[in-house]
A = this chain, B = another copy of it.
Amino acid sequence: MTRATIKDVSRVAGVSIKTVSRVLNKERYVSDDMRQKVEEAVARLNYHPSLAARTLAGKRSFQIGLIHDNPSPYYIFNMQAGVGQRCREANFRMIIQPCDVNSPGLIDDIGALIDQAQLDGIIMTPPVTDVGTALAELFRRKIPVVRVQPGTDLTATSAVYIDNVQAADDMTAYLISLGHRRIGLVTGHANYFASGQRLTGYRQALQRAGIGFDATLVFPGQFDFQSGAAAADALLALDDPPTAIFASSDEMAAGVLAAAHRMGIRVPDRLSVAGFDDTDLAQVVWPSLTTIRQPIRDLGYAAADLLLEFGETIERRQLPHELIVRGSTAPPQA
C-alpha cells in the first residue's frame, strides 16, 4: 500500500483533481456538496498532501525557518516550543537552523537554506538578529522576516520583544525597595543589544531613587555561569561590596550564587541575588532565584504568528515581562 495521492482522492470522491485542490486550500467557489464529498474521501484514504509537490507547484512551501546562534538550551527549547506550536496550528513546518554568528559562511548558509527549502519566512533570535550582512541577504531575497528582540534597524523587519529597559528598572527598583543601596550589576554579552538596555534600566531606577551611579559596581559578563561567578568574585572583593547583585541572566545569577556559597556568604541573608529570564534554572538552584520572567515561549509563538498572519507587512509586538520574587532576595542585614 503506497501513499494516497490527490488523484486517488479525486477518483474516490468522483470529482476533478482541481476541485480536491480547491477544498484542500480552502479556496472560494466550492459547493458544500463537493466539499463534503472530498472531505470524506480524504478521511477515508487518510490522505496527506505531499509537501514537496505543493512547494514545487505553488508559491508557498508551508515551511518557516528558525535561525539561531544561542548556546542556551532553555532559550532555544522554549523558543522552538512557541514557534512550533503556532506552526502546528497553521499546518506549517519549522526548520531549525543553528548557525555561527562569527562564521564567514553565515550568509551562504542562510541563502542555501532559503533556496533549498523555499522557506516562506524566517524567524531570527539574538544575536543573529543584528548581523547586518545577514539581514541584507534576507532583504535581497525579499523573504518575510520576524526578529526576536532585535537590537539594530528596529523598524526594518517585523519584531517581537519585551521592554528590557523597563524590566531592568523594575528589578532594580525592587531591590531598592528592599533597602539595598549598593547594587551590583553583571551585564550581558556585548553582542546582545539587550545588555545595554538592561544597563539603562538599572541606571534609570537608581537615578529615580537618588542613588549615585557607581561604575565599579558594574561588571561585564557573557550571560554564562562562569562569568557570573567571576563577576561575583570581583564585586564581593571590593572594599565596599554590594549587598545585592543583579545578574542579567539566570545562568550568571547561578554563578553568583555558587561564588557566594563558596565564600560562605549566606544568600539572601548577607547577599541578595537576582537573575533575568526565569528559565527553568531559576527554580533548580538554591535558593530559587528572584528574576524577571521573560516569556520566551510566547515570544516564539508571537514571532510565528506575525509571520503567518502578516507576511511581508511589518508589524511589531511587545510582550509583557514580570517580576518574579523568590528566595534569593531579602532586605540587607543591618
A77-B116 Cα distance, complex, nearest whole Å: 24
Q: Can you list 22 contacts pairing A with B, beta carbon distance less than 8 Å?
A: A48-B115, A48-B116, A50-B115, A50-B116, A50-B118, A51-B52, A52-B53, A52-B55, A52-B61, A52-B117, A73-B73, A73-B74, A76-B77, A77-B77, A84-B96, A93-B116, A255-B284, A258-B284, A258-B285, A261-B287, A285-B286, A286-B286
Nearest residue (CB) in B for A260 is B286
A251 within 8 A of B: yes
> Which chain B residues border A117 with CB–CB below 8 Å?
51-52, 93
Interface size class of A (residues with CB under 8 A): 35 or more
Among B78, B108, B254, B288, which residue has its beta carbon within 8 angstroms of that of A73?
Answer: B78
Interface of chain A residues 67 through 119 with chain B (CB within 8 A): 73-74, 76-78, 80-81, 84, 93-96, 98, 108, 111-112, 115-118
Nearest residue (CB) in B for A48 is B115
Copies per complex of this chain: 2
A16-B216 Cα distance, complex, nearest whole Å: 69
Complex A-B, nearest 7 residue pairs according to Cβ-Cβ distance, in ascending order = A73-B77, A52-B55, A48-B115, A258-B286, A261-B286, A73-B73, A254-B284
> Which chain B residues border A98 with CB–CB below 8 Å?
81, 84
A11 within 8 A of B: no
Main secondary structure of the interface of A (DSSP, over half): helix
> Which chain B residues border A95 with CB–CB below 8 Å?
93, 95
B285 near A51 with CB under 8 A, answer no
A212 within 8 A of B: no
A225 within 8 A of B: yes
A49 within 8 A of B: yes
> Which chain B residues border A94 with CB–CB below 8 Å?
96
B52 near A80 with CB under 8 A, answer no
B52 near A284 with CB under 8 A, answer no
Nearest residue (CB) in B for A2 is B141
Nearest residue (CB) in B for A56 is B52
A48 near B81 with CB under 8 A, answer no
A9 within 8 A of B: no
> Which chain B residues border A27 with CB–CB below 8 Å?
none
